[in-house]
Structure 1
Amino acid sequence: MKALAEQVLALEAAQDQQVVRMMTLGKSLSEFTLLQTIPGIGGSTAIRLISELGDIRRFNTRQQLNSYVGLDTTEVDSGDHQSARHITKHGNPHARRILYWTVVLMLNPKMGNNHIRDAYEKRREASSSKKKLIVRQMDRLIKTILYLIKTNQPYSYELSPQSK
C-alpha cells in the first residue's frame, strides 16, 4: 500500500513538472495571456484549457465549443413521457472538469468582480438546482473565452452586460 501511495505522489509530481514546462512554452501564445485576464484563471488553468481545447479559433460558435466539451443539452422523449434537459457529457471530460472548477472558483467573492458571479447571484434564488446553474455559468464562461480569443481582447468587467 505504501508503494502505491509513493507511486501516486511521484506521478503527481511529474504532472506538476509537466504543467510548469507547458506554462513556459505557453507564454508565447496570445491565448495564454488572454485567458489569464479572466478572474479565476491563472497560468495552470489557462495552459490546461489550451491543451484540452486546442485552437479555440476553430470553433465558429459557442454551441460548437459546448458540444466539444459535452455541455450541449438533450432531452429524452418517449410517448407521453418527457424527461428534463441534461448535458450529454459526450465531449471532453477533462475540459469540462477544468471549466467546472474554474466557475466554482469564480463564484468566490475573493476573486473580485466578474460577470459569472453576477449572473449566478442574480439567478440563484430562482434556480432549483445549484449544479444546473453552475453548468449555465460554464456555458457563459465558454462564451466569454471564445469572444476574447476571437477578438484578441483582454477581459474587462466593465464591458460585460452584468456590470451595467
Structure 2
Amino acid sequence: MSLLEKYPTVQDVLSPENKQYMIQLIKENSHKSYSYAEAKYEKLLQAAEKSIEVCIVNLSSAVLIQTTASVIFSLQEALKAINDEIKRLSLLDERFHKEIVLLQSIPGVGEYTACVVLSELGDVSNFSKPKELVAFFGLDPGVSQSGTYNRKNNKISKRGSPHVRLILHMLAKSNVYPNRNREYLNPVMRAYFEKKIAEKPYKIVMCAIMRKMVQIIFAVLRNQKPFELRTPEEHQKLIRENSKLAA
C-alpha cells in the first residue's frame, strides 16, 4: 500500500531512479531482508513491463490511487487507536482482564477476539450449561413453526450478535486449517473436522466446530482455568476420575 501511495503508475514503477527507494520501502514494510525486497521488486517490475502496452497514463487515476491509499492508512490508524482504547479499558476491570487472558489460552483466540466474546456474553454464570451459550450466539438449530407444528431444520437460528458468529467462524477455521508454518493449532479439532467432513456438508461441519469452540469458551470461563488440549479419550478419562473422587 505504501508503494501505491508513493508510486501509483506503471511509469513510476519502471523508472530506474525509483528502484532503490522502492526496494527500501518494501524492506521496511515487510520487515524482511534486502534480498527478499529485491526479489519482490523484480516481480513487480515484470508485472509492470507486461502491462505497459495496455496501460493508459491517466493523472486522475494516479490521484485516485494515492487518495485511496491515504484513506486506508487513516482507517488503519483509527483502528489502532480503537484497539488501544479497548485494551486500556479491559485493564480497568480486573475480572474482565483475567478472563481475557484465560480465553487467549484457547488456540486461535487473540486479545480482540476475547474482548468481543466477553463483551457480548457478559457474565458466564448467567448460563447454566454450554447449550445455553450456543443458543445465545445463535448457533442452535432453527425451528420451522406453523400452528402447532414444529420442525427443526439444518439452519442455525442466528439469534444474537452476527459479529460474534463471524469471529467464531474465523476461530473455527484457525483450529482446523494449518497456519503459515503449516502447523495445526488444534490437532484434536482438526481430527474431528476430517472425520465429519467425510460424512456431512462443509457448512454443517463448520457450524459443529463453532459450537465446539463455544463449549470450550464456556468451560474455560466456568472453571476459570486455562485451556488444555485433550483428546476425547483423555477427556472422558478425566471425567471418570473426577466422578470417582466426587463419590
Please give the range of the TM-score, normalised by the shorter of the 2 chains: 0.7 to 0.9
Q: CA separation in 2, counterparts of 1:161 and 1:14?
A: 43
State the aligned residue count: 161
Greater C-alpha Rg: 2
RMSD (CA atoms) = 2.9
The two structures have a TM-score, normalised by structure 1, of: 0.80
Q: CA separation in 2, counterparts of 1:91 and 1:18?
A: 23
1:15 equivalenced with 2:79 (yes/no): yes
What amino acid does structure 2 have at the position aligned with 1:150?
Answer: R
Q: Deviations over 1:103-125 (max 9, x none)?
A: 11111232433432232122121
Deviation at residue 74 of structure 1 after TM alignment: 1.9
Deviation at residue 12 of structure 1 after TM alignment: 4.5
Q: Residue 157 of structure 1 aligns to a residue in which SS?
A: coil
1:114/1:76 CA distance change after superposition, 3 Å: same
My pick for the range that moved more, 53-62 or 6-15, is 6-15
1:119 equivalenced with 2:192 (yes/no): yes
Aligned pairs for 1:125-140 within 5 A: 125-127=198-200, 129-140=201-212
Greater RCO, CA 8 A, separation 6+: 1
> Does the 8 Å CA contact 1:118/1:162 hold for their aligned counterparts?
no
Deviation at residue 163 of structure 1 after TM alignment: 6.0
- 2:232 maps to what in 1? 161
Matching residue within 58, 63, 67 for 2:126: 58
- 2:112 maps to what in 1? 44
Q: CA separation in 2, counterparts of 1:7 and 1:42?
A: 26
Unaligned runs of 5+ in 1: none
1:5/1:125 CA distance change after superposition, 3 Å: same
The two structures have a TM-score, normalised by structure 2, of: 0.56
1:49/1:5 CA distance change after superposition, 3 Å: farther
Q: Deviations over 1:58-102 (max 9, x none)?
A: 222222212221112124366xxx784210112210111110111
Q: Residue 85 of structure 1 aligns to a residue in which SS?
A: strand
Deviation at residue 24 of structure 1 after TM alignment: 3.8
1:163/1:115 CA distance change after superposition, 3 Å: farther
Unaligned runs of 5+ in 2: 1-63, 236-247
Matching residue within 139, 160, 169 for 1:91: 160
Q: CA separation in 1, counterparts of 2:125 and 2:189?
A: 22
1:162/1:38 CA distance change after superposition, 3 Å: farther
Q: CA separation in 2, counterparts of 1:88 and 1:24?
A: 34
> Does the 8 Å CA contact 1:34/1:153 hold for their aligned counterparts?
yes
> Does the 8 Å CA contact 1:106/1:117 hold for their aligned counterparts?
yes
Matching residue within 218, 223, 228 for 1:151: 223
